A and B are shown apart, each in its own frame.
Chain A
C-alpha cells in the first residue's frame, strides 16, 4: 500500500523567447489588447511564446524516489520550479501532500560577508527551518560539512567547493516530507559527494518522497526507483529507471543526428562520408557486445568521392551519459589512412578493453587533414555494451591483482569462503 505524495495533472507552462517586454512600445499595445479581450487567452500561445512544459502529469508516492532526466531545455528545472511554487503553471494543477523542501542551489542564500555560522542560520531560515531546530543540529551540520576550523570566517573567503559543502550540509539536515532536488549533488569532491548520496538514500528510506533532477544517469540509477524522461516539455517515458535511461540516450542520439544532418549541409567537406562501425571479436566474427579485458576490433568503413592526400580518424569512447572516456586518434598515432576514391574499411584493434561492465557509446570522426576540415562525424552513435567485471558504476576496470607483503604472495582468504 502506498500513499500519494505528489500528484501532477496536466501542467502547461508558457515561456517567452527573448525579453519579456523589450520596451513600453511593445508593452502598451499588448496590455491594451488584453484589456480589450482581443489578445490570446491566458492558456494560449502568443507570438514568440513556447511551451516549456506541455501537459505533464505524474504522481509520486511517499518513500519513492523519482528521477527526472532529459536533455538541456527539456523542462526539468521548470517542472521543479512549478512544484516549489516559484513558477505558476498556465494550465493544470498539482497537489503536494506534506511539507515541501527544495534543494535547488545550495549556496543561493549565502551572504559573502557573513561567517559560516551566521550563514547556517540564515540559510536554515530560508529553507524553512526553525531556529531551535538549527540550534539543535548546528554541531551536526558543521561536522557534516567538514569545515569546522573555518566556521567563523566570512564565507567570501571560502573556496567555491567549501561554500557548496556548507550549503549542502544545511540542506541535508532538513526534515521534509517531500524533497525536490535539482542537480546539487555535483558539488564538492568525490568523498563529499558519496556522503551526499548516502544522506539522500537515508532520507528516501525514512519515507521521504524525493524528486530528483539530474544529468548524471549514474546518480539517478543509484538513487531512484522510477524515472521520468522529459523531451521538449512533454513526458517521453515514465517507468523503471533502466529503460528510462535507455530512452533518454535514444532521444539524445536522435537529437544529435538531427543536429548533424543540419550541420553537414553547412561547412563540412563534401569529400565523402562515414558508412558505419562493426564490432569484431578476437576471431574476427561480428559481435554485438564484448567483455572486459578481452580483445575487440572496431571495423570502421568510410567512403570517399574525391581523392585526398591526408585522411585522419578519431574514435571516441563515452560513458552512457555522454561523458568522454578516451580517444584513439590516427593523427596522434602518426598513422595515415587510405585516401583513394571508393570504400575503405579500417580496423582498430583494442588489445584488452579496460572498461567495467556497462553501456558505452562510440563516436567516429573523419578528417581531411589537408583542408583541415571534418568530412563526417557520427557523435555517440554506436552502442558498445560491455559485460563482465565491476558493478556497472565504474567506467574503467583496471587489470589488477592483490598480493601480500614483500614476497608478493597471493592473499589467502576469500570473502565468503573464510571460516
Chain B
C-alpha cells in the first residue's frame, strides 16, 4: 500500500529531470568538451569550493595563540633572511645597503612565501582529504584550488601590511604599479597549475611530496628573490630567467621599486663591467605562456585521471 501511494506521488513530480549517463569506456572527449566540463562542474560546486576554502583558512590558525599574526610572521621571516643576504652582499661589494634594495627584497619575498605556502598545501591536499576522495563524488579540483585560495587569503594579510610599509622604504606611487595585478594573476595561474599537477602526482606516488619539499627549500637559490639576476652575469641572468617565476618576481620589483615600464627592455652593467640584460618584455610573454599552457595541460590531466583517484589513494 505504501508503495502505491509513493508511486502516485512520484508521478506528480514533473518529469523534466536531469539524466546522467555513464559508460565504462567513455568515448574520447575532445580537449574542448573536457575543458567545458571542468568549468561547468566547478561552477556547479562553487559553494563547496567556498566552504572548503573557509575551512582551510579557519583551521590554519585554530588553537594557535598568535592566530592570524602568523600570516604576517611567516613572510616577515623570509624578508629578514633576505635582508641578511643583502647585508652580506653589500659588505662584500663595499657599497652601502640602499633603501631600494631592501624594498626589492620585501616586494619579492611575499610572492615567494605565497608560492611556497600554496604549493606545500596543495600538494598534500588530496591525500589530506582521503576519506572524501574515496567516498563522495565532486570535482576533485576543489582540493588544490581551495588550498591555493586559502593561501591567497593568508598572503593578502601580509600584502596589506606590506602596502603600509612600502612608503617608508622609498616606494612612490606610479602608473607602473598597474603591472602588479597582471603579474599577480600570472603568479596565481602558475601556482594553480602546479598545485593541480603536484596534488595529482602525489596521490599516485608519495615521492612527489618529498621532491616538492626539497624543491621548495632550495628553490630560493634558483629564483631571484634575495638577489637580482644581474649579479649572476650575462649568461647566468638569462638562465635564471628560464625559471617561470623569475620574470614575475623581477617584473614586480621593476614596476614597484624602479617604476620601470615593463614594455621597455632594460640593460645594465655587471660588477665585471659586462653588459647584462635586466629586463626584456619577452620574459613576461614567456611566463604568461608557461602559466596558461601549464594550467590547461595540468587541469586536463587532472580531470582525465580523476576516475582513478578513489582506487589509488
A249 adjacent to chain B (CB < 8 Å): no
A70 adjacent to chain B (CB < 8 Å): no
B30 adjacent to chain A (CB < 8 Å): no
Q: Is the CB of B9 within 8 A of A207?
A: yes
Q: Is the CB of A126 within 8 A of B48?
A: yes
- By a CB distance below 8 angstroms, the chain B residues around A42 are 25
Q: Is the CB of A206 within 8 A of B9?
A: yes
- By a CB distance below 8 angstroms, the chain B residues around A225 are 3
**From DSSP, what is the main secondary structure of chain B's interface residues?**
helix
* Bound CA span A104–B50, Å: 23
Q: Is the CB of B17 within 8 A of A84?
A: no
Q: Is the CB of A205 within 8 A of B6?
A: yes
A3 CB contact (under 8 Å) in B11, B23, B24, B135: B11
- By a CB distance below 8 angstroms, the chain A residues around B282 are none
Q: Is the CB of A122 within 8 A of B311?
A: no
- By a CB distance below 8 angstroms, the chain B residues around A3 are 10-11, 15
* Bound CA span A124–B54, Å: 14
Q: Is the CB of A105 within 8 A of B131?
A: yes
> Do A98 and B18 contact each other (CB < 8 Å), given the known contacts A84-B137, A127-B136, A205-B5?
yes
Q: Is the CB of B21 within 8 A of A93?
A: yes
Count residues of B near A (Cβ-Cβ below 8 Å). Answer: 43
* Bound CA span A3–B13, Å: 11
A2 CB contact (under 8 Å) in B7, B9, B47: B7
Interface positions, chain A 1-21, Cβ under 8 Å from B, are 1-3, 11-12, 15, 20
Interface positions, chain B 25-81, Cβ under 8 Å from A, are 25, 45, 47-48, 50-52, 54-55, 58-59, 62-63
Indicate the member of B10, B15, B310 with the most A CB atoms within 10 Å: B10
* Bound CA span A99–B44, Å: 13
B312 adjacent to chain A (CB < 8 Å): yes
Q: Is the CB of A20 within 8 A of B312?
A: yes
A113 adjacent to chain B (CB < 8 Å): yes
Q: Is the CB of B7 within 8 A of A114?
A: no
B165 adjacent to chain A (CB < 8 Å): no
Residue of B nearest to A7 (CB): B21
* Bound CA span A9–B96, Å: 78
B136 CB contact (under 8 Å) in A64, A108, A154, A206: A108
**From DSSP, what is the main secondary structure of chain A's interface residues?**
loop
Q: Is the CB of B137 within 8 A of A88?
A: no
B271 adjacent to chain A (CB < 8 Å): no
Interface positions, chain B 108-146, Cβ under 8 Å from A, are 131-132, 134-138
Nearest-neighbour CB distance to chain B for A383, whole angstroms, equals 29
* Bound CA span A20–B13, Å: 45
Q: Is the CB of B6 within 8 A of A63?
A: yes
Q: Please, what's the 1-or-0 string for A200-236, where 1 marks a CB less than 8 Å from any CB in chain B?
A: 0100111100000000000000000100000000000
Q: Is the CB of B18 within 8 A of A88?
A: no
> Do A207 and B10 contact each other (CB < 8 Å), given the known contacts A86-B310, A109-B136, A118-B58?
yes
Q: Is the CB of B63 within 8 A of A113?
A: yes
B19 adjacent to chain A (CB < 8 Å): yes
Q: Is the CB of A86 within 8 A of B134?
A: yes
Nearest-neighbour CB distance to chain B for A93, whole angstroms, equals 4
Q: Is the CB of A204 within 8 A of B135?
A: no
Q: Please, what's the 1-or-0 string for A78-90, where 1 marks a CB less than 8 Å from any CB in chain B?
A: 0001001111111
Nearest-neighbour CB distance to chain B for A166, whole angstroms, equals 16
- By a CB distance below 8 angstroms, the chain A residues around B55 are 111, 114, 118, 122
> Do A126 and B22 contact each other (CB < 8 Å), given the known contacts A3-B15, A121-B51?
no
> Do A97 and B19 contact each other (CB < 8 Å), given the known contacts A1-B11, A130-B47, A207-B10?
yes
Q: Is the CB of A100 within 8 A of B135?
A: no
A131 adjacent to chain B (CB < 8 Å): yes
B17 CB contact (under 8 Å) in A86, A97, A206: A97
- By a CB distance below 8 angstroms, the chain A residues around B62 are 113-114, 154
- By a CB distance below 8 angstroms, the chain A residues around B22 are 85, 88-89, 93-96
Nearest-neighbour CB distance to chain A for B121, whole angstroms, equals 15
> Do A86 and B137 contact each other (CB < 8 Å), given the known contacts A92-B24, A122-B51, A126-B132?
yes
B2 adjacent to chain A (CB < 8 Å): yes
A173 adjacent to chain B (CB < 8 Å): no
- By a CB distance below 8 angstroms, the chain B residues around A94 are 21-22
Q: Is the CB of B23 within 8 A of A93?
A: yes
Interface positions, chain B 168-184, Cβ under 8 Å from A, are none
* Bound CA span A30–B81, Å: 47
A87 CB contact (under 8 Å) in B5, B21, B311: B311
- By a CB distance below 8 angstroms, the chain A residues around B18 are 97-99
- By a CB distance below 8 angstroms, the chain B residues around A118 are 55, 58
- By a CB distance below 8 angstroms, the chain B residues around A104 are 135-136
A113 CB contact (under 8 Å) in B21, B25, B59, B136: B59
B7 CB contact (under 8 Å) in A63, A108, A111, A201: A63
* Bound CA span A149–B302, Å: 43
Residue of A nearest to B49 (CB): A125
Residue of B nearest to A121 (CB): B51
A141 adjacent to chain B (CB < 8 Å): no
Q: Is the CB of A128 within 8 A of B17?
A: no
Residue of B nearest to A90 (CB): B24
Nearest-neighbour CB distance to chain B for A202, whole angstroms, equals 10
A62 adjacent to chain B (CB < 8 Å): yes
A376 adjacent to chain B (CB < 8 Å): no
* Bound CA span A126–B253, Å: 41
Q: Is the CB of B24 within 8 A of A91?
A: yes
Q: Is the CB of B2 within 8 A of A126?
A: no
B307 adjacent to chain A (CB < 8 Å): yes
* Bound CA span A34–B59, Å: 44
Q: Is the CB of A63 within 8 A of B10?
A: yes
Known: A15-B311, A128-B138, A207-B6. 4 other contacts (CB 8 A): A91-B24, A94-B22, A114-B58, A122-B54
Could you list some 22 contacts between A and B, CB below 8 A? A1-B7, A2-B7, A3-B11, A3-B15, A61-B10, A63-B7, A63-B10, A84-B136, A89-B22, A94-B21, A95-B20, A96-B22, A108-B131, A109-B136, A113-B58, A113-B59, A125-B48, A125-B51, A126-B48, A205-B2, A205-B5, A207-B7
10 nearest CB pairs, A to B: A207-B10, A63-B6, A125-B51, A93-B23, A63-B10, A88-B307, A62-B10, A125-B48, A86-B310, A85-B137
